């Protein structure tokens, strides 16, 4: 499923648009902890608790797909203590939330390069993906060891190998084919991308998929980002007009 499947593209003129796929750059965990004189990992643990609340409320405000940026390909540059702590938090989240996610109809999947992740974590990820594969109330996608440029590089290498082997005609490479080879091949493109903490960078998150998404940058740090914050942003999104293409004169 690709661009054009969201209800925002199918709504009647002047009717509110629905952000069916919301992607979130969850920024500000470390800063939240530092401002309180606590270790950064305390902020990450608080951020994981916030994820639970956002996942629980998302379907009630019309969100069918929720994609969260948990760990980027650049995050390996952080201290070993913080990286190991984050991986532990990810594993605990899967172990502790598996039953609740399944009971609430949440399908969980992951995007990114798993090859560098701990084998135990990879096993937990695969297990919850299998367990929740048939659930449909909410599609939760977690980007872990994900980077948009890395994703596109891996995709281009794969296509180039097929061209070199003679199994793919270069003229067959188009937007649809590239989209079908990305980590997000089974997801619609995001309608709305939110970044918390006041930063206004996209940080290599879904660059291909979010080409026509609306963006909202909020000053709120992720651990303070409540379901009401999400509902307010989604409501504002509903009143925006979506225009495809480049800049046009008024």
pLDDT the model gives residue 15:
58
CB 182 within 8 A of CB 155: yes
The domain locations on the chain are 17-147+190-237
- What is the SS3 assignment for 214? strand
Q: What angle, rounded to 10 degrees, do the helices at 80-103 and 119-131 form?
A: 20
pLDDT of the chain along its 250 residues, tens only?
444 434 444 444 555 688 999 999 999 999 999 999 999 999 999 999 999 999 999 999 999 999 999 999 999 999 999 999 999 999 999 999 999 999 999 999 999 999 999 999 999 999 999 999 999 999 999 999 999 999 999 999 999 999 999 999 999 999 999 999 999 999 999 999 999 999 999 999 999 999 999 999 999 999 999 999 999 999 999 887 666 555 544 4
Q: Give pLDDT, residue 6.
A: 42
Looking at the domain 17-147+190-237, which fold is it? Undecaprenyl pyrophosphate synthetase (3.40.1180)
Q: Is the alpha carbon torsion for 143, 49, 45, 191 positive or negative?
A: positive
- What is the pLDDT at residue 17? 80
Q: Which residues participate in catalysis according to the annotation?
A: 27, 75
Asked whether 149 and 181 are in contact (CB, 8 A), the reply is no
Q: Are 51 and 7 in contact (CB under 8 A)?
A: no
pTM of this prediction? 0.90
* Helical segments of 13-118, H only: 29-35, 40-57, 80-103
Q: Which residue has the tokens 């495809």?
A: 244
């Amino acid at each position: 499923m690709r661009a054009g499947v969201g209800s925002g593209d199918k709504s009647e003129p002047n009717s509110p648009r629905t952000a069916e796929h919301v992607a979130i750059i969850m920024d500000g965990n470390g800063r939240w902890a530092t401002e309180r004189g606590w270790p950064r990992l305390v902020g990450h643990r608080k951020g994981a608790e916030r994820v639970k609340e956002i996942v629980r409320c998302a379907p009630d405000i019309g969100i069918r797909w929720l994609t969260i940026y948990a760990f980027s390909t650049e995050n390996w540059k952080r201290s070993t203590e913080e990286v190991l702590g984050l991986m532990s938090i990810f594993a605990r989240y899967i172990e502790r939330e598996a039953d609740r996610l399944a009971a609430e109809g949440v399908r969980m999947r992951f995007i990114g390069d798993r090859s560098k992740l701990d084998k135990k974590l990879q096993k937990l990820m695969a297990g919850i993906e299998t367990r929740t594969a048939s659930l449909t109330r909410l599609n939760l996608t977690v980007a872990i060891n994900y980077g948009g440029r890395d994703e596109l590089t891996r995709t281009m290498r794969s296509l180039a190998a097929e061209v070199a082997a003679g199994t793919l005609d270069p003229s067959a490479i188009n937007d649809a084919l590239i989209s079908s080879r990305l980590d997000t091949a089974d997801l619609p493109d995001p309608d709305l991308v939110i970044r918390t903490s006041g930063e206004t960078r996209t940080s290599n998150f879904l660059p291909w998929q979010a080409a026509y998404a609306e963006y909202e940058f909020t000053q709120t740090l992720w651990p303070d980002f409540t379901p009401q914050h999400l509902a307010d942003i989604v409501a504002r999104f509903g009143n925006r007009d979506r225009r495809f293409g480049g800049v046009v004169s008024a």
